[in-house]
Copies of this chain bind each other. A is one copy, B any other.
């Protein structure tokens, strides 16, 4: 067990942290969830679907997800341009676990909200 603790602590450059930190940002998980529900989706459709994300953060987050090989970006050389995003196999394998987390959150959010309310008082 001491061994296992060492994995996560004292190593600021811990690779597990490097990977998981990307899931901790504001939009990555949400985008993966959306792209997990469809075959592919264009930039503007993503923008409208998520609703409250800025164009800039949509672009930035899509780029980092692409860099990690979690989504694939396809540019069609047309005018006007068309860009489609789709989740990769690697992304799907991650999404499985993310969906478990979402399910857990749905199951427990009432209790959690109640705990938070009590904790205030």
Contacts and interface: CB of A to CB of B under 8 A. Distances in A.
Interface of A: 1, 4-5, 8-10, 12, 15-20, 23-26, 29-30, 33-34, 37-38, 49-52, 66-69, 90, 93-94, 97-98, 100-102, 104-106, 108-109, 111-113, 115-116, 119
A92 to B, nearest CB: 11
A-side interface mostly: helix
Copy tally for this chain in the complex stands at 2
A76 B119 CA distance: 20
A119 B5 contact: no
A5 B49 contact: yes
Nearest to A15: B109
Contact of A105 (B16, B51, B111, B115): B16
A9 B50 contact: yes
